[in-house]
Structure 1
Amino acid sequence: MIREMIVVEGKDDTTAVRRAVGADTIETGGSAIGEDVLARIELAQARRGVIVLTDPDAPGERIRKIVAERVPGCKHAFLTKDEARGRGGIGVEHAADEAIRRALERVRGPETDAEEPAEIAWTDLLEAGLIVHAASASRRERMGELLGIGYANGKQFYKRCLMFRITKAEFQAALERLEREGR
């Protein structure tokens, strides 16, 4: 069983997470997160820790951002769009048990040592074709999958590289794989 509470969007997500790993969850009830839910997430973070596992879509990213801003120190787990795709759309509830377990094994935490210099620079993203490039969105999507930080626009991708302390070696290995795949 996972020690931390897992923040998900709804009841179907809770069912999927419990089926995959038997963890406790907090449901946000969608992207309009109420103060009572945020208070429960704050309490859970203080007592057990929190992992945010939301759908890989715009509302899921909005929830992730709201929780991260309100409750510092949360960990994050990401599913790819392919892993979360089902007949009814894209969501945690459609993911296979194994995909949920993989996402939770690759959980990322925020930067804890502000004294440590950032390894990834904005120019690294530019040189890698992750920004200001004809295929930058698809390249960022695949890099996000390889690094385990999910898809984001250029600015948010850079912030995630810093927040999750992506090293130059991790970044370079993912970039080399991306290039081998011909993307």
Structure 2
Amino acid sequence: MKIKEMIVVEGRDDTIAIQRAVNADTIETNGSAVNEETLKRIALAQQRRGVIILTDPDYPGERIRRIVSERVPGCKHAFLPKKAALSKNGDDLGVENAAPEAIRHALEKVHEAMEDPLEVISRQDLFDAGLMAGADAKKRREQLGILLGIGYANGKTLYKRLKAFQITKREFAEAIAQIVEEGRD
């Protein structure tokens, strides 16, 4: 699988994992201290080839994603579920731990953030689906993030991502139906 866009990752080990999975070039942020020089390279890559952000599914990874997205508009986003990014002994979470198939799957479900969504999923829709409150809300948000390919998020961030990635009400309803069905097992 050849990827045209440059993939933004956190470090060298992530680059190695990406190259095991696909034929792609990467830009490494060298952790959460994203400097001006790196942001300029990412902006140039966005102009020339496009950019996909694939960071660790943890707080520092989300921080990097947010910084890059704010400074370089139009980036695409790929998300790994936490389960796919967990090391074998369970003590490390990162892209470098993901199997090549998991990375390919994340890159097949790339999303582009949009300024003005066509449809709006309301906060009430999130409450009604059991995503904002209740004992299973966190688990449901995690499942929804996997099904829609938008990664895990807390309620507020989930609401923003659904709008930014223009998830339709139909896609949302189908994913919620699948979550409910799987919960009946």
The TM-score with structure 2 as length reference comes to 0.94
User: Is it true that 1:45 corresponds to 2:46 in the alignment?
Assistant: yes
Contact 2:118 2:166 in 1 (8 A): no
- The equivalences for 1:24-173 within 5 A come to 24-86=25-87, 87=89, 89-111=92-114, 114=116, 117-173=118-174
Counterpart of 2:8 in structure 1 is 7
Tell me how far 1:37 sits from its aligned partner.
Answer: 0.6
Which consecutive unaligned segments of at least 5 residues does structure 1 have?
Answer: none
Distance in 2 of aligned mates of 1:77 and 1:134: 28
Runs of 4+, deviation exceeding 4 Å: none
Which consecutive unaligned segments of at least 5 residues does structure 2 have?
Answer: none
Counterpart of 1:16 in structure 2 is 17
Aligned-partner residue type, residue 144 of structure 1: G
SS at structure 1 position matched to 2:107:
helix
Distance in 1 of aligned mates of 2:125 and 2:29: 35
Aligned-partner residue type, residue 92 of structure 2: G
Aligned-partner residue type, residue 91 of structure 1: G
Tell me how far 1:118 sits from its aligned partner.
Answer: 2.8
Tell me how far 1:110 sits from its aligned partner.
Answer: 1.3
Tell me how far 1:34 sits from its aligned partner.
Answer: 0.6
Aligned-partner residue type, residue 113 of structure 2: P
SS at structure 2 position matched to 1:83:
helix
Q: State the percentage of identical aligned residues.
A: 60
The TM-score with structure 1 as length reference comes to 0.95
Distance in 2 of aligned mates of 1:34 and 1:117: 34
Aligned-partner residue type, residue 156 of structure 2: K
CA deviation digits over 1:120-145, x for unaligned, max 9?
11111010011022221111111111
CA deviation digits over 1:128-176, x for unaligned, max 9?
0110222211111111111110011111100000000001111011101
